[in-house]
Amino acid sequence: MSEQIPRSMPVELTRKGRELAERRRAHFIELFDTGRWKHYYTEEQLLVRMREAIRMVETWDRLGGRPDAPHAIAAE
């Protein structure tokens, strides 16, 4: 069973995951900057979603082993 768990993710997968997370983060920043967030979220909901989007970008950075990411996970 442990043979099925990969030691690292393919670079292409981590790159695409990070790009998607970055687009989501940028979307929330645009909502905030334009004020359109008021049509969809309360202030508290928006902050929760923005924090989640930022965490996802940071998580994909760590998974991708980016050198500028804090606590980068080393792939063997």
pLDDT tens column, 29-42: 999 999 999 999 99
- Cα–Cα distance between 25 and 36 in angstroms, integer? 15
Q: For the chain, give the mean pLDDT.
A: 83
How many independent structural domains does the chain possess? 1
Which domain does 52 fall in, by range? 9-64
How confident is the model at residue 62, as a pLDDT?
A: 87
Inside any domain, residue 45: yes
- 21: buried, middle or exposed (CB in 10 Å: 19+, 13-18, 0-12)? buried
Decide: pTM greater than 0.75.
Answer: no
Tokens of 33: 């900057």
Inside any domain, residue 41: yes
Which of 65, 50, 71 shows the shortest CA–CA distance to 9?
A: 65
C-beta neighbour count of 61 within 10 angstroms = 21
Q: How confident is the model at residue 74 (pLDDT cuts 50, 70, 90)?
A: very low
Q: How confident is the model at residue 1 (pLDDT cuts 50, 70, 90)?
A: very low
Q: How confident is the model at residue 18 (pLDDT cuts 50, 70, 90)?
A: very high
Inside any domain, residue 35: yes
Inside any domain, residue 57: yes
